[in-house]
């Protein structure tokens, strides 16, 4: 429903969309009249952490394209979009806004952003 705000939730390293973020989705839907999208990047989320870190940028590009499509074709508004990411998903959420072509996401929340291999790299960190 394009008249409702949209919450996009991105899971962290090695957790998947059926993790504790399902509880976050349920809580959001219980207390707010919102759309919720769970991003599943599990097929790129390898057990080898350094490879997973290398894959956050391509996943962020796809998420940025999704947001553009929601605005362009789904009549969503950038000011109504909130991306929430956990662990490596927090970095995907932050980077995704760099890959939107038609505007800027209103709000991005990073829950316990991952630090290893990212903390000192300005190309990847929030």
| Domains in the chain: boundaries | 6-111
DSSP state for residue 112 in the 8-state scheme? S
Separation CA 88–CA 84 (nearest Å): 11
Domain 6-111 has CATH 3.10.129.10: no
Q: Mean pLDDT for each consecutive 10-residue tract of the chain (126 residues)?
A: 95 77 92 96 81 92 97 95 95 94 94 83 61
Separation CA 25–CA 3 (nearest Å): 19
Q: In this predicted structure, what is the pLDDT of residue 69?
A: 96
Answer yes or no: are the C-beta atoms of 80 and 106 closer than 8 Å. yes
Q: In this predicted structure, what is the pLDDT of residue 21?
A: 84
Q: In this predicted structure, what is the pLDDT of residue 64?
A: 98
The pTM assigned to this predicted structure is 0.91
Separation CA 46–CA 92 (nearest Å): 15
């Amino acid at each position: 429903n394009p008249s409702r705000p949209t919450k996009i939730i991105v899971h962290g390293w090695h957790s998947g969309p059926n993790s504790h973020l399902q509880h976050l989705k349920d809580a959001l839907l219980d207390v707010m009249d919102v759309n919720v999208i769970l991003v599943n990047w599990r097929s790129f989320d390898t057990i080898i952490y350094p490879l997973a870190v290398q894959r956050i940028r391509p996943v962020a590009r796809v998420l940025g394209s999704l947001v553009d499509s929601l605005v362009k074709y789904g009549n969503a508004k950038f000011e109504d979009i909130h991306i929430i990411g956990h662990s490596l998903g927090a970095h995907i959420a932050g980077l995704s806004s760099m890959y939107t072509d038609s505007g800027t996401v209103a709000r991005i929340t990073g829950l316990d952003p991952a630090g290893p291999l990212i903390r000192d790299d300005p190309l990847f960190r929030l």
